[in-house]
Chain A
Amino acid sequence: MPPLAEITQLIVFGVLATAVVVGALGVVMLPNIVYSAFLLGGVFLSVAGLYLMLNASFIAAAQILIYVGAVNVLILFAIMLVNKKEAMGASPGIGLRRVLSTGVCLGLFALLLRVAFSTPWATPGPAAIGEDAVIRLGEHFFSDYLLPFELASVLLLMAMIGAIVLARRDVLATDIGTGESVDQGLIEKARTPLLMEKP
């Protein structure tokens, strides 16, 4: 590999790693939840960049499609439909809580560092297979990883059915939120589109 490519790789890795770490810290620490959500998108994109550097272009594209295009957009949707402008109010004992959570996080971080440094990593790892990765992934999904793959699908299906049941109040005998029995008014309320004025 020519030195030019190595230098470029090093620079790109530095930029991406910094973006991931700084962005992740911003997600946790910024008081404005909208900024946190947008920064989360940035972190996902940077992680996709890291996958690209590992020659895993399909995983990188899937990361963008699922995490940025679906998960992050849904988070933003939730925030913007709730649309509370005021900042989070001060909870009682916020100082103590911050100290405690910082302590827990630092402890976890120390533990992870210990593991990272004490594990005998087999570097360099197996060579990247590049463009054939899609085919290999498909083979694994339909052979030895079939069960985890199907289990994940069943989990998602359960989540989807659950969400539909919660959102459609008319399929339940009583309303989950208030406990009152379902009448015509509630059913109509459930059918009012979110983005439309009531007629």
Chain B
Amino acid sequence: MSTAFTLDLETGFRGLLEAGGVSPGLSRLIWLPLPMLLVLVAAVVGVLVTVWLERKISAAVQQRIGPEYAGALGILQPLADGLKLLVKEDIVPARADGLLFTLGPVLVVVPVILSWLIVPFGQNLLISNVGVGIFLWVALSSIQPIGLLMSGYSSNNKYSLLGGLRAAAQSISYEIPLALAVLAVVMMTNSLSTVDIVDQQNGAGILSWNIWRQPVGFLIFWICALAECERLPFDLPEAEEELVAGYQTEYAGMKFALFYLGSYINLVLSALLVAVLYLGGWGFPLPVETLAGWLGQPIDAPLVQVITGSVGIVMTVLKAYALVFTAILLRWTVPRVRIDQLLDFGWKFLLPIALVNLLVTAALKLAFPAVFGG
């Protein structure tokens, strides 16, 4: 299985450079920043698309038209938004703590962008196949509450402080069921690496996706991911009617844009990870080996490799955007929960369910090692 997809851009690129007389060390140095840059661009483009989708879908839900004049179907509207935020005046309130006020949004965005390190778009199409894989994401996402507390505290505004506290409380409560849901998947895979997690799901196409074996885990993960992204119905930290805009109240210009960008990058990232953990990642509903076999093509041929690689990228993005669509539709459909309901739901319902799910997975793994990854 793992030898089948060997579309390896790094080897090809460095081979090309070294054939041109570049030393191996230098070719590695030239290669290193390229995938990072590519993923950063992909993340930002993903956010622009999501913002446009959010505007259009919310308009459709409310029987409006939405952005229309900036480009065809208003497709340039997110760019205009970004440009507006970029050139807006950057205000630091007079009694705020300037240093922490600036550092807060940075601490919120950087871990989210770093987490893209582990999102695989194909067998070798990810920045780094680190061994701790999905655990790295769990760890990195736990840095975010510090940035939220920092910006809430430094704004010197009671709404900001309350919003920051709410955000941090919400984030740490939903992190635990989230990690437990991930742990159940990891237990079936016997590996933390995201590539292994996808490989394990692609034996029989759509039938072997984790969602069939982990339906409860899938729901827990999706709910917790929405809560971590502060999406409705869990957008208490910035509940307009109660807290103005929560920890973002005092922010303007580019610092506000960092929060905005961070939350949308996080949404796309969560959707991608749900696709990777539960929906077979880059896998096509029919295994591509079977398809290639029917067409009588050898799977190792360069052209077939390029096609399967492209299909993988398209499938990953497609699954992720289907989930983003669900999240947007949820946001414009359901009302917001109260803070005590949110915390009760997290601690008294999701956490026990996640624990039971983990135990049941362990039991099933012992009973049916063939199906649940022995």
* Docked pose: A41 CA to B260 CA in angstroms: 24
A195 within 8 A of B: yes
Contacts of B192 on A, CB cut-off 8 Å?
134
Q: Are B142 and A69 in contact (CB under 8 A)?
A: yes
Q: Are B132 and A58 in contact (CB under 8 A)?
A: yes
Q: Are B165 and A80 in contact (CB under 8 A)?
A: yes
User: Given known contacts A4-B29, A77-B168, is B131 in contact with A131 (CB within 8 Å)?
Assistant: yes
Q: Are B143 and A69 in contact (CB under 8 A)?
A: yes
B153 within 8 A of A: yes
Contact segment of B12-20, B144-152, B286-294: B144-152
Q: Are A68 and B131 in contact (CB under 8 A)?
A: no
* Docked pose: A72 CA to B136 CA in angstroms: 18
* Docked pose: A34 CA to B138 CA in angstroms: 25
Q: Are A73 and B172 in contact (CB under 8 A)?
A: yes
Which residue of the partner chain, among A61, A65, A80, A195, contacts B149 with CB atoms under 8 Å? A80
Give the shortest distance, in Å, between B141 (CB) and chain A (any CB).
8
CB proximity to B under 8 Å, residues A122-155: 130-131, 133-134
A196 within 8 A of B: yes
Contacts of A41 on B, CB cut-off 8 Å?
146
Which residue of the partner chain, among B131, B136, B165, B339, contacts A77 with CB atoms under 8 Å? B165
A70 within 8 A of B: yes
* Docked pose: A38 CA to B145 CA in angstroms: 12
Interface mask (B44-64 → A, CB under 8 Å = 1, otherwise 0): 000000000000000000000
Interface footprint category on A: 20 to 34
Which residue of the partner chain, among A4, A73, A134, contacts B146 with CB atoms under 8 Å? A73
A76 within 8 A of B: yes
Contacts of B153 on A, CB cut-off 8 Å?
34, 80
CB proximity to A under 8 Å, residues B282-309: none
Number of residues in B with C-beta < 8 Å to the partner? 32
Contacts of A2 on B, CB cut-off 8 Å?
25
User: Given known contacts A65-B142, A69-B172, A195-B162, is B149 in contact with A76 (CB within 8 Å)?
Assistant: yes
B255 within 8 A of A: no
CB proximity to A under 8 Å, residues B322-341: 339-340
B76 within 8 A of A: no
Give the shortest distance, in Å, between B105 (CB) and chain A (any CB).
14
User: Given known contacts A134-B132, A193-B340, is B166 in contact with A73 (CB within 8 Å)?
Assistant: no
Chain A residue with the shortest CB-CB distance to B150 = A38
Which residue of the partner chain, among A38, A61, A80, A131, contacts B139 with CB atoms under 8 Å? A61
Q: Are B146 and A72 in contact (CB under 8 A)?
A: yes
Give the shortest distance, in Å, between B299 (CB) and chain A (any CB).
27
* Docked pose: A133 CA to B192 CA in angstroms: 12
Contacts of A196 on B, CB cut-off 8 Å?
339-340
B169 within 8 A of A: yes
Contacts of A80 on B, CB cut-off 8 Å?
149, 152-153, 161, 164-165
Extra contacts besides A58-B131, A134-B192 (12): CB < 8 Å: A4-B25, A4-B29, A34-B100, A34-B153, A38-B150, A45-B143, A69-B142, A76-B168, A77-B168, A77-B169, A131-B131, A195-B339
In the assembled complex, 21 residue pairs joining A and B whose CB atoms fall closer than 8 Å, in A order, are: A38-B146, A45-B143, A57-B136, A58-B132, A64-B142, A68-B143, A69-B139, A69-B143, A69-B145, A69-B175, A73-B142, A77-B149, A80-B149, A80-B152, A81-B165, A131-B131, A134-B192, A193-B340, A195-B162, A195-B166, A195-B169
The 8 closest A-B pairs by CB, nearest first: A69-B142, A131-B131, A61-B139, A65-B139, A64-B139, A2-B25, A57-B132, A76-B149
